[in-house]
Structure 1
């Protein structure tokens, strides 16, 4: 049990630190992230209460019992609910009706205050002392059901809401929900087993402690990683907006006419050379408008902008560059990443943040494409240039 107590204390402390970083740091503090911070702090409170209960603090100091008796598990899933709904930008988070989600924790606080005053201090308010055992059994069943129903509701909202953002954000929402759902089911199962086999309560409590400890560590690592990545991307974008990176090689600039005209939106067949009017327009979009920074850029979107068919666009790019459309676009992204890597102003930022701001949609695509283009991984390239 000493190891479990130590694990509880470490995990609770770690959670408080993580929550404080989110809630107090100007770099990470946003309305959305605040709910994540509140969630972690509440989970840390629960684990700290478990630690203090295991060492007999609540037995020694009866006046502190109310801190343990209030069922914070009514509030924790509400914070998670608001965090995920705001993260996926679902309109439901603006509904005033969601204030009703705070009713269970409000009832729990009021109930336990009355219980403490009546039982611990001997003041009769409602004079229902004989009913408390039934009331608290109902409360226990309620918080299990409340957590499960909120997790199911979140699943429905996530499935119905188009997740706008990069691949990393989508993975984070799904991973977070999946982890929370598994832990909720495990908690309900362990609670049910403990109810029927009281003599095994320390075993099942130990299992839950281990799982929660690793969960806090996981969310701590991934949360800090994601928040740092988001901060890096924001700052990189600000720098890129101030700088005018030129990806053209010296002595090889082309005069690009941005006002390419088409006749009745029909393709004008001409030679596949760099003088091709559509290729020159494409170069303008890439060199001067930096359209490759859009991770959702596609051949169809570019073809529509040029007023030609996707097939004809592929013919142009393949014939002139000896690359397919995706490879050609990615070559611009790689070139910009290379420029950022050698620029001292970007040295403090992670390579992934640089790659994502250059237009790559995921870490895997970024590293695979960069090595294919340069023969080195981004980290190897950075080391060689420093």
Structure 2
């Protein structure tokens, strides 16, 4: 009873947290969407485990079709894309993200076709049909032992690009925990398949590990490090309740929507959201980006955008955006994927409008021209 209660709490928390991440403007970003989907996937796996414990599949056999889908194929994909979107500031490979879901799609289609015979009884495979399913099953097994380990391992190399030590620490911990569960699940599943080993007790332990990941992600990854530096202000911001006042926060009069003006620091909610827009959505690659566009995204005035940026960074809005563009160019220079790009092409793709503005901004940020930086960084 206690065991299933813990699982049910984790399932509920994972679903609610995922919805909050997707719906809240403070949490919502390209990278966090993948984190939300990872939490949903963990919740689905736990729910299937609870159904098995409660013998729901005995009462409703058709639910086996959902249970037999290997949702675990989604976990390395969502985890990898979460880390990839945190480190890839150019956004060049976003259009190829669907490739990471091909193993899951293959697995799901194969299992559903098989279950329509064995579970639903819609049709019966002939002997030749069973041989084909067997061959396709071997391909499915090959995908499991290659795809599931590969993405987490590759993620360890990608995570080194993160520059924020605090961010790197918690994401590395998340990666390690999820990788452990994935590797343990894979080894256990193979043992059960090849050695006729009873995997129920091991899977129960892994389910508890998954509940811990959900709780930990909620507290560390989202609440403690990301958006809760001023918890009362965030609660007010999310609930849109202007009637509550907080220390060190003052609402600007005659300004719609309301803006927090007093004691502007890096904890400022709008600045945090601006950072997310730059780091995760790469808005700086838009060459027409200006204060007005950013203000519209943040729901504040253009003047307040300038005030936030000037106060927190000590620079004007244009220089703040150009710093992200320069960092994107520097990453392209160090990435062999862009060896065929000219420096100007890198600059234009990062959001600069001309060679003059690109070179001027690059030298202001780095103290070197793009050519000098590229030569010295080799």
Residue 277 of structure 1: aligned partner: none
- 1:116, distance to aligned residue in structure 2 (A): 3.0
Question: 1:291/1:84 Cα in 2 relative to 1: closer, same or farther (>3 Å)?
Answer: same
Contact 2:17/2:36 (CA < 8 Å) preserved in 1?
Answer: yes
Question: 1:117/1:231 Cα in 2 relative to 1: closer, same or farther (>3 Å)?
Answer: farther
SS at structure 2 position matched to 1:228: coil
Whole-Å separation in 2 of the counterparts to 1:55 and 1:31: 37
Residue 351 of structure 2: aligned partner: none
Q: Equivalent of 1:186, from 173, 184, 187?
A: 184
Question: 1:60/1:195 Cα in 2 relative to 1: closer, same or farther (>3 Å)?
Answer: same
- 1:170, distance to aligned residue in structure 2 (A): 2.2
Contact 1:19/1:40 (CA < 8 Å) preserved in 2?
Answer: yes
Contact 1:70/1:108 (CA < 8 Å) preserved in 2?
Answer: yes
Question: 1:53/1:238 Cα in 2 relative to 1: closer, same or farther (>3 Å)?
Answer: farther
- 1:198, distance to aligned residue in structure 2 (A): 4.2
Contact 2:6/2:211 (CA < 8 Å) preserved in 1?
Answer: yes
Residue 39 of structure 2: aligned partner: 40
Contact 2:74/2:101 (CA < 8 Å) preserved in 1?
Answer: yes
TM-score normalised per structure 2: 0.56
Question: 1:58/1:219 Cα in 2 relative to 1: closer, same or farther (>3 Å)?
Answer: same
Question: 1:97/1:242 Cα in 2 relative to 1: closer, same or farther (>3 Å)?
Answer: closer
Which runs of 5 or more residues in structure 1 are unaligned?
247-287, 296-386
Residue 73 of structure 2: aligned partner: 74
- 1:193, distance to aligned residue in structure 2 (A): 4.1
Residue 153 of structure 1: aligned partner: 154
**1:316-331 paired onto structure 2 within 5 Å:** none
Contact 2:38/2:78 (CA < 8 Å) preserved in 1?
Answer: yes
- 1:291, distance to aligned residue in structure 2 (A): 9.1
Contact 2:22/2:33 (CA < 8 Å) preserved in 1?
Answer: yes
Which runs of 5 or more residues in structure 2 are unaligned?
238-247, 253-258, 265-306, 315-378
Q: Equivalent of 1:212, from 210, 213, 225?
A: 210
- 1:8, distance to aligned residue in structure 2 (A): 2.2
1:88 partnered with 2:87: yes
Residue 49 of structure 1: aligned partner: 48
Whole-Å separation in 1 of the counterparts to 2:193 and 2:125: 30
Whole-Å separation in 2 of the counterparts to 1:185 and 1:93: 30
TM-score normalised per structure 1: 0.55
CA-atom RMSD in angstroms: 3.7
- Size of the alignment, in residue pairs? 250
**1:1-386 paired onto structure 2 within 5 Å:** 2-91=1-90, 94-119=93-118, 120-123=120-123, 128-129=129-130, 132=133, 135-136=136-137, 138-159=139-160, 161=161, 163-164=162-163, 166-195=164-193, 198=196, 200-225=198-223, 226-229=225-228
Can you list the C-alpha shifts for 1:127-177, whole angstroms capped at 9, x where unaligned? 723554664465345324312100112122223x3x24x332222222222
Can you list the C-alpha shifts for 1:43-81, whole angstroms capped at 9, x where unaligned? 100110111122222222122222111111112221111
- 1:41, distance to aligned residue in structure 2 (A): 0.6
Contact 2:7/2:46 (CA < 8 Å) preserved in 1?
Answer: yes
Contact 2:14/2:40 (CA < 8 Å) preserved in 1?
Answer: yes
Question: 1:114/1:199 Cα in 2 relative to 1: closer, same or farther (>3 Å)?
Answer: closer
| Greater CA drift, 59-68 or 126-135 | 126-135
Question: 1:229/1:87 Cα in 2 relative to 1: closer, same or farther (>3 Å)?
Answer: farther
Can you list the C-alpha shifts for 1:67-101, whole angstroms capped at 9, x where unaligned? 11111111222111111111223546624333221
